Amino acid sequence: MTIFYVAAGGAVGASLRYLVGVASGRLIGFGFPWGTLVCNVLGCFLMGVLIEAMATKLTVHNDLRAFLAVGLLGGFTTYSAFSADFALLLERGDTVQAILYVATTVTLALAGVFAGLAFVRAL
């Protein structure tokens, strides 16, 4: 039954990632992968919140844990999209943007996890 929860969460997370990508493209433009960057940073922050909350503040059933962490956030944040965006930037000849994208994504994603941990610990 757990696989159903993972799949359902993945469908929701992937749909949200798509909507963020479309919205960010319309708002900011499609020349840079803002949607993927936003999803990765926000998703990492939420993963930090989730990990800390489930470890210290909440009693969560394993199926809900699988739905949220593996399914929802796994579908929302994906480094396959990150990798494809990086490759596209490189293939377009935007080497500086590609390097900036990798550095920004990794730095902010890691900061997002620690911010999420700190956020829950401060509650």
pLDDT in tens, 27-84: 999 999 999 999 999 999 999 999 899 989 999 999 999 999 899 999 999 787 788 7
Averaged confidence pLDDT in the chain: 93
Answer for the pair 17, 78: CB distance below 8 angstroms, yes or no.
yes
In the chain, % of residues over pLDDT 90: 85
pLDDT the model gives residue 82: 87
pLDDT the model gives residue 98: 96
Q: Which of 24, 22, 35 is nearest to 84 (CA)?
A: 35
Spans of all domains in the chain:
2-122
Cα of 62 vs its chain's centroid, Å: 21
Answer for the pair 2, 66: CB distance below 8 angstroms, yes or no.
yes
Binding residues: 74, 77
Q: Which of 79, 44, 51 is nearest to 65 (CA)?
A: 51
Cα dist from 114 to 12, 45, 54, whole Å: 24, 7, 15
Binding residues for Na(+): 74, 77
